Structure 1
C-alpha cells in the first residue's frame, strides 16, 4: 500500500537527468561563464583600488604578465586532456560491453565521478578561454584597466581540481573493469529498488501474493505515444489524474515491457475516463530499461553477466558463481515480500492506481532458468545453484516453495543430461556455497 504523498513529482525527472550525460557538463560550462564574469569584475575592482599606487599596480601587471603564459598553456592543454579522458571512457565502455553485458554500460553513464571529471575539465577550458579574452597588451599602469589576479587564481584552482578528479576517475574506471565491482554496483542498485518496493508494500497490509488479473469492467485506453520500453511511470501524476476523474486506473504493462502505439496501457474503472494523451504523459518510454522502478532489471543484468561468462568463448564459471551469489541475496530479500501488484492510494487513502509487478514465480524463473540451461555442465556453477536453492527453500514461506522446488528438479535433469557418470553427477549436485570450495 502506498499513499500519494510518498511520491515526489520530480523523482522521475531526477532519474532521467541522471541517465543523461550532457546535463552536468552543460551546467558546468554555464557556471564557468558566470564565474569568468564575476572574477573579471573582482579583478577590475582590485586594480582600481591599487591603481593610485604605481608600485602596486606595476606588481599586479607583472603578475598578470607572468600568469598569461600559464593560463594560455592550460587552455590549450585542457582540450587535449579532455580527449584523453574521453578516450579512456570509450575503451572502458567497449571492454565492459564485451566482457560483461551491454546492459551494464548504464553504470558508466550514471557515474557521478565520470560526469564530474568531464564537467570540471570542460569548465576549466571554457573559463581559461574567457580569461584570455580579457588580457591587455599594455604593461603601462597608466593605460591598464584591470589585472587578472582572481581569474588566474581560480584558473589554477580549477586545474588542480581537474587533476585530482582525473586520478579518482582512472581509479574508479579500473574498478569498474573488474567483474566483482560491476556485480556489486548492480546489486547495490537492485537492493535500493527492492528496499523502495518493500516500503511501498508493507507486509502487514498485503500478506501473500496479490492477484494480478485486470478488472472485468472498465474502459481500456490505448497508447498514443512512441514505441519503446516502458522505463518508469510518474505515479504522482497518475494519482492526481485518477483522483480528479474519480476513477481507479489499472496499469496494464509492467515496467520494462515494450509498448507500441495502440498497446493497451490503462483500464479505467469508475468515474470518467481521462484522455489517452494524459496517460501517455505519465509514461516514460525509451530504448532501454532503467533501475528506477524496475524490479526485474537488476536480475536481468546479473543473469546476463552469468550466461556470458558461461558461453564457450569466455568459459568463466567463477564469474557466473559470483553473479549467482548476488541473485541469491536479492531473492532472499524478496522471499517474504508480497508480490503481484502495487496499490497506490491518494492522500485520502483511496486506491487510485493498481500497478502490476513481477510475481514470485516469474522472478525465480528469471533468476535461474537461463543460468541453469547454460551451466548444466559446469559443476562449480551447479553446486552453487543447489546451495542457493536449498538455502532459499529454508527461508521461503511454504506457499512460495513450489517454483524453487521446480528449479531444483530441473537442475537435476540438466545435470543428468550433461554428466553421465553417477559419481560426477552426485558431485555436481552436492551443495557448495563456493561452487567448488
Structure 2
C-alpha cells in the first residue's frame, strides 16, 4: 500500500499532471455547456450571457484559442529558462522542486485548458439557415477564462521571479528538511530506554537475501516487514535504508533462522532518490547549493552562509527529539532491525561538504563556528554536543591551514574559544542538574 501511495504521489507531482487534469475538466465543461444550451436554451433573464451571433462568437473563440496557446508557449519558454538557471546555479537535483511547483503547473494548465475549451466550443458554432447554433454559455465562459488567463499571467511573472530567488529556494528546502526530520525522529520521553539490537553473532548463519536489481531504495515498508517476520516467527535484519544505492546481487537482508516470504515486496527501488523517508537527500540538496555557491566560478559565500544558518535551525529543532533505534519487538521478541540515520550522519551530511569547499573563505568558516556555538547552546545531549565540537575542530584545522591573514585567523580562534566556553557552560549546567537531582533523592530517602 505504501508503494502504491508513493507512485501516486510521484504521478500527482509531475509537471504534466495538473495541466492534464485541467484540460480534461475544460473539455467536460465545454460539452456540458453545449448540451445544456441544446436542451434548455438561454432564458431571457440571463443578461450577462453572451448574446452575439455566429460570426462574432466564431471570431471571439478563435481569438481566445489562438492567444491562449501562444501565451502558453511563452510561459513554457520562461519555465525552461528558469529551470536552466536553477540547474546551472543551484544544481540539477533542484529541478524537481521547480517542476513540482503548483503555481507553475496551474498557470500552464489555465492557458492550455482555455485553449482546449475554446477550440472544442468553436467546432459547434454553425451558421446554416436551417439550424444555426451559437453556444452562448460556452462563449461567456470562454471570456471568463480569458480574463482569468490574464490574471494568471501577471501572477506567474511575479511567481517565477520569486521562485528562482536563492533565499526563497533555501527556505523551501529548509521546510522540506524540517518536515523530514520531524518524521524521522520521535518526541523525547523521560525515562525511555532505547532498544538494543542483537550482536553480529546472532545473524551469523542466517538466510541471506540478494538484491534482484539495482536502484535507489526509495521506500521501506517497515510495518509489512514486521508483520511478515512475526508471521514466519523469524528475525529480520536490513542492510540498506532509504537513500542507499542498491547494487545488483548485493546483500540487502538477513533472516534468522530463515527469511520471511516476499521481503522484496516491502522495498521500493527507483532510478532516483526521493524526499520522504530519505532524510539525507533533503540535507544534501541544501549542501549542494552551498557547495556550488563556494565554487570559484560562482564565488557567492553569502548563499553558503544562508545555508549554514538553515542547518543550525534544523539542529536546534531537534533539542527535544530523539532518534529511533531501528529495533522492532513483538511480545518482547526482536523481529526487525533496520538501519536509521543518526545525529552523527546528519551533521556530517550538513557540514562536511561546505567545510571542504569553503575552507579558504574566512567569512564562511567564522559563520560555521558561530552556528556551532548557537547549536551547542540549544542542544542538551552530551553526545550531540560532542559531535558539534568534533566538526568545529575540523573547521578550525582546515581554516588555519588555508587562511593566511592574521586577523582572519584570530577571528577563527576567537569563535572557536567561544564554542568551547559554550560547551563548558553546558557541561557545568548538566553536572549541577545531576547534583540537584541526587540531593533531592537523598532528602526524600531520609524523609521516608
TM-score (structure 1 length as normaliser):
0.83
Following the alignment from structure 1 to structure 2, what is the Cα–Cα distance between the partners of residues 327 and 424?
Answer: 23
* 1:42 aligned onto 2:30: no
Which residue in 2 is equivalent to 1:99? 89
Following the alignment from structure 1 to structure 2, what is the Cα–Cα distance between the partners of residues 209 and 409?
Answer: 32
What is the 5 A alignment of 1:6-405? 11-47=5-41, 62-138=52-128, 140=129, 143-144=131-132, 146-199=133-186, 203=189, 207=193, 216-217=203-204, 218-225=206-213, 227-235=214-222, 237-242=224-229, 244-269=231-256, 273-275=260-262, 279-339=263-323, 341-343=325-327, 353-396=336-379, 397-405=381-389
Cα contact 1:247–1:268 (8 A) shared by 2:
yes
Q: Which sits farther off after the overlay, 211-220 or 363-372?
A: 211-220
Following the alignment from structure 2 to structure 1, what is the Cα–Cα distance between the partners of residues 17 and 340?
Answer: 31
Following the alignment from structure 2 to structure 1, what is the Cα–Cα distance between the partners of residues 6 and 406?
Answer: 54
- The offset of 1:363, in angstroms, is 1.4
Following the alignment from structure 1 to structure 2, what is the Cα–Cα distance between the partners of residues 208 and 40?
Answer: 66
Cα contact 2:3–2:219 (8 A) shared by 1:
no
- The offset of 1:237, in angstroms, is 4.5
- Structure 2 spans left out of the alignment, 5+ residues: 417-448
Runs of 4+ in 1 over 6 A off after TM superposition: 348-351
TM-score (structure 2 length as normaliser):
0.81
- Structure 1 spans left out of the alignment, 5+ residues: 1-6, 433-437
**Size of the alignment, in residue pairs?**
410
- The offset of 1:398, in angstroms, is 0.8
Following the alignment from structure 2 to structure 1, what is the Cα–Cα distance between the partners of residues 88 and 259?
Answer: 51
Following the alignment from structure 1 to structure 2, what is the Cα–Cα distance between the partners of residues 155 and 345?
Answer: 61
Following the alignment from structure 2 to structure 1, what is the Cα–Cα distance between the partners of residues 224 and 34?
Answer: 45
Which residue in 2 is equivalent to 1:435? none
Q: Secondary structure of the equivalent of 1:431? A: helix
Which residue in 2 is equivalent to 1:4? none
Cα contact 2:26–2:113 (8 A) shared by 1:
yes
Q: Structure 1 205/16 Cα, relative in aligned 2: closer, same or farther at 3 Å?
A: farther
Bigger relative contact order (CA 8 A; separation at least 6): 1
Following the alignment from structure 1 to structure 2, what is the Cα–Cα distance between the partners of residues 248 and 149?
Answer: 69
Following the alignment from structure 2 to structure 1, what is the Cα–Cα distance between the partners of residues 102 and 196?
Answer: 38
Q: Secondary structure of the equivalent of 1:296? A: helix
- The offset of 1:303, in angstroms, is 1.1
- Could you say what the CA RMSD is over the residues aligned between the two structures, in angstroms? 3.1
Cα contact 2:208–2:259 (8 A) shared by 1:
no
